């Protein structure tokens, strides 16, 4: 019974995927087409054509946004530098241990 349910579910997903591809929501390459999805939502094909410039008309880069972006970039750079320092210290410590082990008289017998 579970196998049949799984097969049915798989067939339904496959059918839904085919429907999405044929309706233009999902491209054959797997990309989603926003304008096709919007036509299903509003049902008015005149509204389907999106002007990319209009998406950003009301968007302004305020000083607060820029400061926030700068802080994020700074924090990411600091975190990256800390990771690099920790990795370098770990490599240095490993090399020191290998050097000490190679100098040990017991290892040269």
Mean pLDDT (the chain, rounded): 69
102 or 17, higher pLDDT: 102
Task: Look up the pTM and report it.
Answer: 0.39
Question: What is the three-class DSSP state of 4?
Answer: helix
pLDDT band at 18 (very low <50, low <70, confident <90, very high): low
Cα–Cα separations (whole angstroms), residue 95 to 7, 90, 108: 56, 9, 18
- Out of 49-58, 66-75, 78-87, pick the least confident: 49-58
């Amino acid at each position: 019974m579970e196998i049949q349910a799984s097969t049915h579910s798989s067939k339904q997903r496959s059918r839904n995927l085919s429907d999405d591809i044929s309706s233009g929501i999902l491209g054959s390459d797997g990309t989603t087409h926003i304008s096709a999805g919007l036509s299903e939502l509003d049902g008015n094909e005149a509204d389907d054509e999106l002007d990319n410039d209009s998406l950003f008309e009301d968007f302004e880069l305020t000083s607060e946004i820029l400061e926030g972006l700068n802080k994020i970039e700074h924090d990411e750079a600091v975190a990256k530098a800390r990771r690099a320092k920790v990795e370098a210290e770990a490599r240095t410590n490993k090399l020191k241990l290998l050097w000490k082990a190679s100098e040990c008289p017991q290892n040269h017998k």
